[in-house]
């Protein structure tokens, strides 16, 4: 029997907890039209044994190369074996060739699962469907069962860290760019390899979500690295230009009027109240969450315009009149 429903009614954390407590075996599919993304998590007796996501597949080979455990030549050697007809999984081939240990494979698979699950746990909108039962092929790949309870606890910790990161990195659609060289920031940088990877892709055109996909990192890790780079003054963030800035005059003059903001919706009213008392961060957070959860809201254009104005004002105040001055 399938279990399904919108995430607005049953959050992803509750879904995971339900499957854990009932010791379910099967596949959980989570789809978000707003994000144009989809994730699949496999459970065996309530434990997570596999996870994948369409936007950032976190392939095992990429993870091993990025972590320095393999070289590109090692990967090519293993892939050549597959081309010759070796039907074993990539990890099994790498172990048999002596290129990596089984323990390292299991560690990377665990990191791969965690990255996907933690990304799904940040979703507040979308639709989930759980179907019971796994076939033998699915279970053959289930080499690293992970306690769902431990994933939920770590997920809660990351959500707390997200709230801190959001003070400087409001969302993943922001575009990072390098601080002009004549401004005051460290001349020498002491960065980790993953931080250099992110920094090397900052060109003032691609947003954080695109960078995460390119470097095969979780969105959380890229946001955390970006937070550090912004805090040290190495980079700055800007909001993307909206396509709606090029305005086409409608034939019907009445169509030019924006649908007014309906304050009967509690989150909209709460966000407006925060703006009126000058709490820009709270108002922005409330309205952004409302838009993610209600893409069909009638007054969505007015809400977006209000959000853009509030974000611009907040950024100007932070830059020109920081509270520490």
Kindly list the domain boundaries of the chain, sorted by start residue.
Answer: 3-158, 166-240, 256-325
Q: Along the 325 residues of the chain, how does pLDDT read in single tens digits?
A: 688 999 888 888 899 999 999 999 999 999 998 888 899 999 999 999 989 888 766 677 777 887 778 888 888 888 888 888 888 888 888 899 898 888 888 888 888 888 888 888 888 889 999 999 887 766 666 678 899 999 998 888 887 887 888 888 888 888 999 888 765 555 567 788 888 889 898 988 899 888 887 776 777 888 889 999 998 888 999 888 754 443 343 444 333 344 445 555 677 878 888 877 778 888 888 888 887 777 666 567 777 777 877 887 777 777 666 655 4
Cα(209)–Cα(219) distance, integer angstroms = 6
Q: Which CATH class is domain 166-240?
A: mainly alpha
- Asked whether the whole model's pTM tops 0.85, one would answer no
């Amino acid at each position: 029997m399938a279990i399904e429903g919108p995430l607005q009614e049953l959050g992803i954390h509750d879904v995971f907890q339900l499957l854990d407590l009932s010791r379910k075996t099967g596949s959980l599919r989570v789809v978000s039209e707003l994000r144009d993304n989809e994730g699949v998590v496999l459970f065996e007796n309530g434990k997570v044994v596999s996870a994948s996501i369409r936007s950032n597949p976190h392939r095992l080979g990429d993870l091993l190369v990025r972590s320095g455990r393999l070289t590109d030549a090692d990967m090519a050697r293993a892939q050549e074996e597959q081309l010759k007809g070796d039907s074993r999984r990539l990890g099994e081939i790498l172990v048999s060739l002596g290129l990596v240990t089984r323990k390292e494979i299991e560690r990377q698979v665990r990191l791969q699962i965690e990255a996907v699950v933690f990304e799904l746990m940040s979703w507040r909108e979308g639709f989930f469907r759980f179907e019971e039962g796994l076939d033998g092929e699915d279970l053959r790949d289930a080499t690293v069962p992970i306690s769902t309870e431990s994933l939920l606890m770590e997920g809660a910790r990351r959500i707390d860290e997200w709230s801190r990161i959001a003070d400087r990195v409001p969302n993943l659609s922001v575009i990072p760019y390098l601080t002009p060289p004549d401004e005051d920031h460290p001349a020498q940088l002491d960065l980790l390899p993953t931080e250099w990877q992110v920094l090397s892709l900052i060109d003032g055109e691609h947003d954080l979500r695109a960078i995460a996909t390119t470097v095969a990192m979780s969105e959380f890790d890229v946001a955390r690295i970006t937070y550090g780079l912004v805090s040290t003054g190495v980079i700055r963030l800007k909001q993307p230009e909206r396509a709606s800035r090029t305005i086409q005059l409608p034939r019907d003059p009445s169509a030019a009027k924006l649908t007014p903001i309906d304050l009967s919706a509690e989150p909209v009213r709460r966000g407006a109240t925060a703006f009126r008392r000058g709490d820009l961060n709270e108002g922005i957070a409330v309205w952004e969450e409302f838009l993610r959860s209600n893409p069909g809201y009638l007054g969505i254009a007015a809400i977006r315009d209000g959000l853009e104005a509030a974000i611009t004002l907040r950024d100007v105040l932070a830059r020109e009149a920081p509270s520490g001055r």
